[in-house]
């Protein structure tokens, strides 16, 4: 079982409009709704790849009920979410059909009480007992300590469970210091963490801060991985346009599944890059077509890069 943690779950709603114009009314041509939050997206992709996944985090209110009802329809995804008094947030993605661009609106999430946070920590430690790997994903809802991910990384390491961290800002900075096995920032998050806008330098700096391996998402330029074993760059086919929502989460699922399967790094990165690209091309945020993914997998280029001391 692979465990994914989403402390700030969401009900993802995607609107498609012919063209998005400021200060105008719009007729929505298509609406999709699904359980969301980074770790839930990761779990759905893991299930599609044939891995059993368990999701934990928080869910509450009518939105939380709708999220859990929808999650019940996801095969091979086990719901271990902690009920809370506050209402789960919604995220709204508006896709402009004319350009393919997406506008995202994210609510902040419910206020988590101390007793609810303690209940989550107990459940998390119990679930680690049967986990092959764990992903800690996304933002922190109000009320959760800013150092929460650092503590969860240390707990996973104490249980000898490989841990991937995918967050941003101060939670990322503190979490990296707890020495996770893998962090997966995007270029902006990596620059904020290290102060460097040069990906090669920034990934090395992130390793010095505590991460064993850094895989940086560079958008259309693919993934850059830096570990004790070496450095690689994975590049998708050029000219891909679509909705990037959930693409990074698909990359996380690719990395986690390949880790559990003990694939070599070039194959891990090829899988993660192809899944990310297939998600961009999907009409619904955070999903992918299997045939599109398999085609892209044959066209991803993975090359080693010169190693610089970290």
- The full 3-state SS of 226-282, as one line of letters, equals EECCEEEEEECCCCCCCCCCCHHHHHHHHHHHHHHCCCCHHHHHHHHHHHHHHHHHC
Which pLDDT score is estimated for 97? 87
CB-based burial of residue 159 (10 Å sphere; 0-12 exposed, 13-18 middle, 19+ buried)? middle
List the single range of 28-32, 98-102, 125-129 with lowest mean pLDDT: 98-102
Provide the residue count of the chain. Answer: 310
Catalytic annotation present for 166: no
The overall pTM is greater than 0.95: no
Which pLDDT score is estimated for 215? 96
The arithmetic mean of pLDDT across residues 267-280, rounded, is: 94
Residue 185 CB contacts under 8 Å (≥ 6 apart), including other chains: 166, 168, 172, 193, 206, 214, 216, 217
The model's confidence at residue 309, banded by pLDDT at 50, 70 and 90, is very low
Q: Is 129 helix (H, G, I), strand (E, B) or coil?
A: coil
- Say which of 181, 249, 289, 295 is annotated catalytic: 249
Residue 145 CB contacts under 8 Å (≥ 6 apart), including other chains: 117, 151
The model's confidence at residue 149, banded by pLDDT at 50, 70 and 90, is very high
The arithmetic mean of pLDDT across residues 84-103, rounded, is: 89
- Distances from the Cα of 196 to the Cαs of 70, 199, 202, in angstroms? 41, 7, 5
* pLDDT tens, residue by residue, 179-230: 999 999 999 999 999 999 999 899 999 999 999 999 999 988 899 999 999 9
* pLDDT tens, residue by residue, 75-93: 889 999 999 999 999 989 8
Which pLDDT score is estimated for 286? 64
Which pLDDT score is estimated for 186? 92
pLDDT over 60 (residue 285) = no
Asked if 1 contacts 130 with a C-beta cutoff of 8 angstroms, the reply is yes
């Amino acid at each position: 079982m692979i465990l994914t943690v989403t402390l700030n779950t969401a009900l993802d709603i995607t609107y498609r409009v012919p063209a998005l114009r400021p200060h105008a009314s719009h007729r929505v041509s298509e609406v999709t709704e699904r359980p969301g939050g980074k770790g839930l997206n990761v779990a759905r992709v893991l299930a599609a790849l044939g891995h059993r996944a368990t999701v934990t985090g928080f869910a509450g209110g009518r939105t939380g009920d709708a999220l859990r009802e929808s999650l019940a329809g996801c095969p091979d995804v086990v719901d271990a979410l902690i009920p809370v008094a506050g209402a789960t947030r919604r995220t709204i993605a508006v896709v402009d059909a004319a350009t393919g661009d997406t506008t995202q609106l994210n609510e902040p999430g419910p206020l988590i009480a101390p007793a609810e946070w303690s209940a989550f920590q107990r459940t998390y430690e119990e679930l680690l007992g049967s986990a092959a790997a764990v992903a800690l994903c996304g933002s922190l809802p109000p009320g959760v300590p800013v150092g929460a991910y650092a503590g969860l990384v240390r707990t996973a390491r104490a249980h000898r469970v490989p841990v991937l961290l995918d967050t941003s800002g101060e939670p990322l900075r503190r979490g990296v210091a707890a020495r996770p096995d893998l962090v997966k920032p995007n270029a902006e998050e990596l620059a904020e963490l290290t102060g460097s806008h040069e990906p090669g330098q920034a990934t090395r700096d992130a390793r010095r801060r505590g991460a064993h391996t850094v895989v940086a998402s560079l958008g259309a330029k693919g993934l850059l991985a830096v570990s004790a074993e070496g450095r690689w760059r994975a590049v998708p086919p050029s000219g891909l346009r679509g909705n990037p929502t959930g693409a990074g989460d698909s990359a996380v699922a690719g990395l986690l599944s390949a880790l559990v399967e003990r694939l070599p790094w070039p194959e891990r990165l090829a899988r993660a890059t192809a899944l990310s690209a297939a998600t961009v091309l999907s009409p619904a945020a955070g999903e992918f077509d299997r045939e599109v993914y398999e085609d892209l997998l044959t066209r991803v280029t993975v090359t080693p890069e010169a190693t610089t001391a970290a």
